[in-house]
Structure 1
Amino acid sequence: MTTSRVWLAVVCAIVAALVPATATADPGAQVAGEVGLGGRAAQIDVYSPAMGRVIENKVIKAAGAGAPTLYLLTGAGGGSDGISWWDNTGVRHFFADKFVNVVMPVGGAFTLYTDWISDDPGVGRVRWETYLTQELPGVIDRTLSTSGRNAIAGVSMSAASALDLAIQSGPRFSAVAAMSGCPWAADPLGIAMASAQAVRGGGNPGNMWGLPGGPVWQQHDVFANAGRLAGKTLFLSAATGVPGPADRGLPMPPVEAIAGTCTAAFAGRLGQLGIPATYLHRPTGSHTWGQFETDLYEAWPHLAAAIGA
């Protein structure tokens, strides 16, 4: 065989090898399906390349194009358990006349909505930070013709996650609300509290952020990295755990009392750094959806002003 024929054979082999890979290339984050839920509400399913699966999102659409977006995260069960803003509050009615798209992802139970460094036998492939800060916003912006301005809010487990996601994603979110949660630090107490969430879901905390107190834990220490929240609109709220008039459902006084202590500490940290924040410490409230809903509506004017809603 001549030299030219050898090279021709090599080129043909390379092309043959590349064609199947091109044909099966990852299409990127995109809408995988949409179902109307009445009015301007819809379930928009989005394929996440990072996690290799489709994620369900409950969405309340704004009345027209050019509206900003509020990403609203739920508690420890991720909404897959039927416990969420969508299921347990009147957000659909509250935001019906607001010029904002409200996106409520379903899933992420006990994951802290972060990127885990390793796949886990208990919770699988977890890349929620990538999904929430890169994949989903891009799809929502294209699909709903948004303004590109975003806020994020979390409650209970996701309160600290909302702060962390705002820190990790730079300018993606210009406003953050953290309600009845426990912002964590990479100290023994913070490590124990964050790890407990992963363990509740059957996951190994070592697969989440690696060696306790190590570099990845330090990266997600919201106290140490609080300075990166400067310039954003911040709303923090928690209560004492004493049942009050806003409560609905089963009161959980110890949980809210802990959240109140954690939130007060983080508010103090922001104060030390000279970072403005609205901090609401309620004299009553016991970690119920009635309390969470009341605090969200209290937070909304602050978020709206920041994103132009």
Structure 2
Amino acid sequence: MKLSALRNRTALRTAAVALTAALSAALAVGTGSADQDKAPAVTSVTKDGRTWHLKVYSAAMDKDITVDVQRPVDESQPAPNLYLLNGLDAGEGTASWNAQTNALGFLADKQVNVIQPIGGRGSYYADWQQSDPQLGLNKWQTFFTQELPPLLDTTLGATGVNALAGLSTSGTSVLQLAEAKPGLWKSVAAYSGCAQISDPMGRQFVKLAVETWAGGNTNNMYGPADSPLWAANDPVVNAEKLRGTQLYISSGSGIPLMRDVEYYTKSSPGIQGDVNLALGMIIEGAVNSCTHNLQAKLDSLNIPATYQFDPVGTHYWPYWEAALHNSWPMMAASMGIPA
């Protein structure tokens, strides 16, 4: 074989090896990019009578989220969606609407999809600025305002009309979510939520929930006390964004009745299993102050709302269940369905 031919063959072999390596690298990069760009989707649906258990992939959090749905009384007709958010426990334990109340029974004869996301304990359903060692990656605001609504409308054949209700920590969250995407929810009901979070008292309330009870770190959430993210996510500071949303806002005074004493004596969970009567009184008293401050701000902006300030009541479930019943006519009207 001539030397020139040998050199040509060697060159071709070298070029082929290089091309193969380049193609392999390109394919590897392409695969990685596809994984990173995976879109939000309903990955599975399990039906148990009128209850549907959905698995919804959140691209923002790169994981599947469980979303339980109680379907409307007439499943053959499109229905609106009521997002019923749990408090600090986020539906992961027994401190939930499902375990502590008959909310689902009350809503069973209504023409509405009742949406209960499961997960996000201690997160305030917020978009955290960085992952937390204890609570993980939280991008719940993105999930609720961008990823989940269109998926539910398609999967459930919903009307595209939504309402939102939450208690305790999620009584803050529902106002934040409504301000993050005005118009997404026609009505919002906040029960015993501290609406102001950027002042010292409100910030301490958030720290108590996130750090003391849930074990997270609010520095990973909104940063240190002087971070502008606290004010940027404060429902009172941003109250103008609630204009046009129908609002129901309630709280108790913190003064207990005998049934409150009996409830806490039985060690039933409030926002957390270790909340005793004294703490339940203190929390509701603080929440009552926050809620009156929200009322003052909304009044100053001429933004209407329905308020329920009970002269008694501590921080626990029977009061929130009663508030759900009281706020239902407003929410039903906003969604265009019979109460």
- The normalised TM-score by structure 2 is 0.83
Matching residue's letter, 1:103: I
Deviation at 1:223, TM superposition (A): 1.2
Question: d(CA) in 2 for partners of 1:133 and 1:207?
Answer: 21
Deviation at 1:246, TM superposition (A): 7.7
Pick from 220, 224, 237 the counterpart of residue 207 of structure 1: 220
- Say what the alpha-carbon RMSD is for the aligned residues: 2.4
Question: d(CA) in 2 for partners of 1:206 and 1:140?
Answer: 33
Instruction: Say whether 1:275 aligns with 2:303.
Output: yes
Instruction: Look up the SS of the partner of 2:125 in the other structure.
Output: coil
Residue number in structure 1 paired with 2:4:
none
Residue number in structure 1 paired with 2:286:
258
User: Which range moves more in the overlay, 43-52 or 94-103?
Assistant: 43-52
Superposed counterparts of 1:210-289, under 5 Å:
210-244=223-257, 249-250=263-264, 251=277, 252-289=280-317
Deviation at 1:118, TM superposition (A): 0.5
Residue number in structure 1 paired with 2:323:
295
Deviation at 1:36, TM superposition (A): 3.0
Question: d(CA) in 2 for partners of 1:121 and 1:22?
Answer: 26
Structure 1: any 5+ residue segments left out of the alignment? Answer: none
Residue number in structure 2 paired with 1:56:
66
Instruction: Look up the SS of the partner of 2:61 in the other structure.
Output: coil
* Change beyond 3 A, Cα 1:150–1:11: same
* Change beyond 3 A, Cα 1:259–1:46: same
Structure 2: any 5+ residue segments left out of the alignment? Answer: 1-10, 265-276
* Change beyond 3 A, Cα 1:265–1:229: same
User: Which portions of structure 1, spanning 4 or more consecutive aligned residues, are displaced by more than 6 angstroms?
Assistant: none
Deviation at 1:163, TM superposition (A): 0.2
* Change beyond 3 A, Cα 1:57–1:249: farther
Question: d(CA) in 2 for partners of 1:267 and 1:286?
Answer: 20
Residue number in structure 1 paired with 2:268:
none
- The normalised TM-score by structure 1 is 0.90
Contact 2:183 2:244 in 1 (8 A): no
Residue number in structure 1 paired with 2:43:
32
Instruction: Say whether 1:66 aligns with 2:94.
Output: no
What percent identity do the matched residue pairs reach?
A: 36
Matching residue's letter, 1:126: N
Contact 2:56 2:66 in 1 (8 A): yes
* Change beyond 3 A, Cα 1:148–1:190: same
Question: d(CA) in 2 for partners of 1:193 and 1:25?
Answer: 36
Q: Which structure has the larger Rg over C-alpha atoms?
A: 2
Pick from 164, 170, 182 the counterpart of residue 158 of structure 1: 170
Contact 1:58 1:86 in 2 (8 A): no
Instruction: Look up the SS of the partner of 2:250 in the other structure.
Output: strand
User: Which range moves more in the overlay, 169-178 or 187-196?
Assistant: 187-196
Residue number in structure 1 paired with 2:95:
83
Aligned length: 305
Per-residue CA deviation, residues 6-25 of structure 1 (Å, 9 max, x unaligned), is 9x949846753444236645
Question: d(CA) in 1 for partners of 2:216 and 2:108?
Answer: 38
